[in-house]
Structure 1
Amino acid sequence: MHPPVTDPALVGALRDDLVASDYDVDGVERFLGPLAAAALHREQSLPARRAVAAAEGGRPPADRAPVATLVGLFLLGAAVPRAALDRALPGTGTAGAERLGLVAAQGAGADDEVRAVVDLRPYSSVDAVGDASWWLASDLGELATGGRLATDHVLGAGGASLTLAQVTVRNPTGRVLDLGTGCGIQALHAARHAQHVVATDISRRALAFAAFNAALNTPAGAELDLRHGSMLEPVAGERFDLVVSNPPFVITPHAGAAGRAVADALGDYEYRDGGRAGDDLVRDLILGVGGVLAPGGTAQLLGNWEHRRGEPWTERVGAWLDTAGLDGWIIQREVLDPAEYAETWIRDGGTTPDREPDAWAAAYGAWLDDFASRDVEAVGFGLVTLRRPVSGAATLRRLEEHTGSVRQPLGAHIARSLAGHDWLADRDDAALAAARLVTAADVTEERYLTPGAADPNIVILRQGDGLGRGVQASSPLAALVGACDGELSVGQIVGALASLFDVSAADLAAELLPAVRGLVRDGFLAE
């Protein structure tokens, strides 16, 4: 199937029709109800199909609710009568939707069936700028087609896309690069806070979807600079203030001499497989992205990396940062063993053990053999934040694991942590002691006492925002954080606490100032 066509007049009419039809995230969830909506998010379509059938209830096409028609057509892959679609999209009409490449009609009669040839669904998210509400066109998924995905499948906004959109720093900026744009979702987010957005992809089909989505959702988005090419090649020699990428990072075996049958079972999906061995694509991107970053520029991407026997992942991935010469902060969010990883991505391509047992077994075995060839014990997934120093050597090298819940959108928290790192880099202990700090509004204190005891055994400072960190604090540190309201300097508070606890002020400062640095870096305290 061809990707959609960006006809400005028809796209404008479609936008108006979608608004009038209540075809947004809230409207769809109101129509489906909480049970069917939640099931559809899990890619279980039966409750939603029942909701559509109940809404139609034997009504003639001209009387059917527009939102029911659009849900059935675009989200469930069901055929709808031409008259029903004409009513749901009165300005565009079935004929216009056909010209845009969204549907295929069997005939011109009112009762003739119309089927979607692309997925067109409402999208809603909250990033560091605020609420975003759009429509996104992409290729039909397995739920609608009932079969495997095509190798040139253009993915919609999945969980990884939503995660990247929410963790990206959204400070007003000049030039942004969306590397591997796919359907264009990251470029749309970037267009809200950047002066110029360049979006690249190796797939011309993906770029056509991105152009359509940009035109459908925002006049500014229609001005995206879309470029065809692999990785950083289309922007060689240019500089950007922000690079975002949800690259094809999936670690995929390549059949080679194993034969065509195994290759077919594995699938060669452009959206997830960059054609490199192991985690080389993520490594190469970390090593190369500094070449297109302006001084002080930031890159944020998602990635997988291998945990190899006898080599901690922090050392292996940390070596990439050392070679890149960039500030680096990597947060590992999930770890899967090789079997779990294989199962996840075989299913992602539409192959299941019950429907295609031979293909499932062939792909599964190839994945396990590929991991075994490099002594891979697990695969990590996480967030990578890189920054090109304005001058001098990199000063930030942070690799950590955080598999718990986070408070999204995380982008503002990451921006504050980077600002805290920079603020600390310019201050020795004397300057830190002179600072007047304020405790963040989301910080709370937890105390754990043995029954009957007057003093707590454990005090934990808990962060309600961002990564939700918990820091075990001594009584003096907890008291210092409680006193940070911007009135007294850190040094003055330490002096008062030294008298209260009957200890040397110098000794207490030596204990507390390093901890204060950590709390500033993590957003518990700020100037």
Structure 2
Amino acid sequence: MTADRSVVGTDTTPARLPDVVAEPAVTSALAADLTAAGYTVEGVDALWGTEAAAALHRGVRVAARRALASRPTTPLSTVATLFVLGLPVPRAEADAAFPTVGVDALGAAGVLRADGDTVAAAVDLRPYAFVDDLGAGSWWIVSDLGELALGHAISEEHVLGIGGATTTLSGLQLPVPVRRVLDLGTGCGIQAMHARRFAEQVVATDISRRALDIARFNAQLNGIDGIDFRLGSLFEPVAGERFDRIVSNPPFVITPRRQGVPAYEYRDGGMVGDALVETVLRGLAEHLEPGGTAQLLGNWEHRWGDDGLERVRSWFADTDLDVWVVEREREDPPAYAETWIRDGGTKPGTAVFDDLVDAWLDDFRDRHVTGVGFGYVVVRSGGAPDLRRFERLPQVLGANPAGLGATIARTLDAVSWLAGRDDDAFAAAHLRVAGDVTEERHYWPGNDDPTVMTLVQGGGFGRRVDADTALAAFVGAADGELAVGQIIGAIAQLTGVDDRALTADLLPRLRDLVLDGLLLPA
């Protein structure tokens, strides 16, 4: 990229973003005021009701503003007006909302901006609630103001707050205690904070000094220690170091390398195509301790005659890592371009928007890209790889609010368990059906025999497995009492089929059910 990275055709140049300074006295006093105001997810939603909250999720604040106008002003309504609605408030109301920390101190910290008799938010500050294996928790998260509050496209140094990718990756983190975790590209610090709940120490890196300042502020605001913030690109700040776990939501968005196309730091790593994701994935092996794991999000390109998942597979060809890649969705070039141009705050139907779409489509055409996949990457360091799984799961239907981390941990345990058992040892093992598994049966009218039987996983990845009579019978009998071989022998005897043939047919499918968590070692 050239030095000129302004948004093509915009008529409003964003002002320089304020420095965010994490003074302990300020963050502790701010936390006290936010607590006293009742600034929580539940408290904010109760201010204006479910309809207005839903409208805010769509980027429209009118209903919430009208609801507040009909009620007396309180510290909670003042804080919510400032940071959720992005609207200024009278200085007197701000003084009442922040009696401990004070408006002037928040101005010096880069959180508020005073202008005469009014006060406005200089950053976004939201309550955030979550659930993981340690239980429910809540924090306050500072990030940069979005398009709704700014009234124009965001700055290229914008630090992103909580979004769908945030909750996805935090839910992928394994809820297993470890010593050291690396959060690569920490952004506002949210993944480092989640990782700290299960780690003795976290190293959080980012190429953006502003992101590190905000991440440090968030950690202090929520009383979280044990996070070492380091400035630098990719693995440079941790050269020669190894970790028990690596988590990353890297700046993976594929962006044309053309003058005038904005390069947002939070999403664009400055490389061509999916080269940044490839670089991160290829670097995992030398930074994971033996037995260490990594959970990441990423994009990968599908090209003419070159499937995206196969490209990802090739990046691990020379490693001994266990690898599991799940492609959640795939977008065609126009849809991908439009998604990320809107994400930057450029409105569809404008000349700027159309020019940027042209830039994206030219880039995809020139590099023969037919689509872009998005998904999860799970890696484990060890001996000879026992897991190389590259799959498409467009619908993850499980209902676990804590995310998929526990499911992934169980899957990795299952890989090790299966690798240690040949067919004879597996046949001697005892299995039980998982508690979230149900069975669906479909019949032709008037027919007593089912035409379709499906095993349905209620949690995890919500898998659906077609079952024949023998497999359904095995799962129905798998209560941990009898060994695998004993159940297969009984089914063979009842159905009048050859025991060896049935064993050869069922064992691979039963291994898959163990791997997917529908069957568990008893």
Give the TM interval when normalised to the shorter protein: over 0.9
Larger helix fraction of residues:
1
Whether the aligned pair in 1 keeps the contact of 2:434 and 2:518 (CA below 8 Å) is yes
Q: Distance in 2 between matches of 1:301 and 1:184?
A: 15
Q: Distance in 2 between matches of 1:142 and 1:70?
A: 19
Superposition deviation, residue 313 in structure 1 = 2.0
Give the alignment partner of residue 420 of structure 1, picking from 414, 425, 429: 414
Q: The residue matched to 1:303 in structure 2 has which SS?
A: strand
1:69-468 mapped onto 2 (5 Å cutoff): 69-107=78-116, 112-218=117-223, 221-255=224-258, 259=259, 263=260, 266-354=261-349, 357-389=350-382, 391=383, 393-407=384-398, 408=400, 409-468=403-462
Name the aligned partner's letter for residue 378 of structure 2: T
Equivalent residue for 2:463? Answer: 469
Q: Distance in 2 between matches of 1:28 and 1:413?
A: 32
Whether the aligned pair in 2 keeps the contact of 1:128 and 1:410 (CA below 8 Å) is no
Q: Distance in 1 between matches of 2:134 and 2:368?
A: 43
Superposition deviation, residue 128 in structure 1 = 4.0
Equivalent residue for 1:480? Answer: 474
Whether the aligned pair in 2 keeps the contact of 1:24 and 1:122 (CA below 8 Å) is yes
Q: The residue matched to 1:444 in structure 2 has which SS?
A: strand
Superposition deviation, residue 114 in structure 1 = 0.3
Q: Distance in 1 between matches of 2:431 and 2:396?
A: 27
Q: The residue matched to 1:306 in structure 2 has which SS?
A: strand
Find out whether 1:42 has 2:51 as its counterpart: no
Matched-pair identity in %: 54
Name the aligned partner's letter for residue 158 of structure 1: G
Equivalent residue for 1:54? Answer: 70
Q: The residue matched to 2:348 in structure 1 has which SS?
A: coil
Deviations along 1:426-471, one digit per CA (max 9) or x if unpaired, are 0011111111111100000111111222221111110000110011
Name the aligned partner's letter for residue 303 of structure 2: R
Question: Bigger CA drift: 301-310 or 127-136?
Answer: 127-136
- Give the structure-2-normalised TM-score: 0.94
- Deviation >4 Å, runs of 4+: none
Whether the aligned pair in 1 keeps the contact of 2:202 and 2:227 (CA below 8 Å) is yes
Q: The residue matched to 2:297 in structure 1 has which SS?
A: strand
Q: Distance in 1 between matches of 2:170 and 2:293?
A: 14
Whether the aligned pair in 1 keeps the contact of 2:78 and 2:97 (CA below 8 Å) is yes
Q: The residue matched to 2:500 in structure 1 has which SS?
A: helix
Superposition deviation, residue 20 in structure 1 = 1.4
- Give the structure-1-normalised TM-score: 0.93
Number of equivalenced pairs: 502
Q: Distance in 2 between matches of 1:482 and 1:104?
A: 64
Q: The residue matched to 2:219 in structure 1 has which SS?
A: helix
Whether the aligned pair in 2 keeps the contact of 1:286 and 1:324 (CA below 8 Å) is no
Name the aligned partner's letter for residue 294 of structure 1: E
Q: Distance in 1 between matches of 2:43 and 2:19?
A: 26
Question: Bigger CA drift: 85-94 or 393-402?
Answer: 85-94
Superposition deviation, residue 10 in structure 1 = 2.0
Name the aligned partner's letter for residue 74 of structure 2: A
Q: The residue matched to 2:318 in structure 1 has which SS?
A: helix
Question: Bigger CA drift: 12-21 or 246-255?
Answer: 12-21
Question: Bigger CA drift: 169-178 or 7-16?
Answer: 7-16
Question: Bigger CA drift: 419-428 or 322-331?
Answer: 322-331
Q: Distance in 2 between matches of 1:106 and 1:283?
A: 47
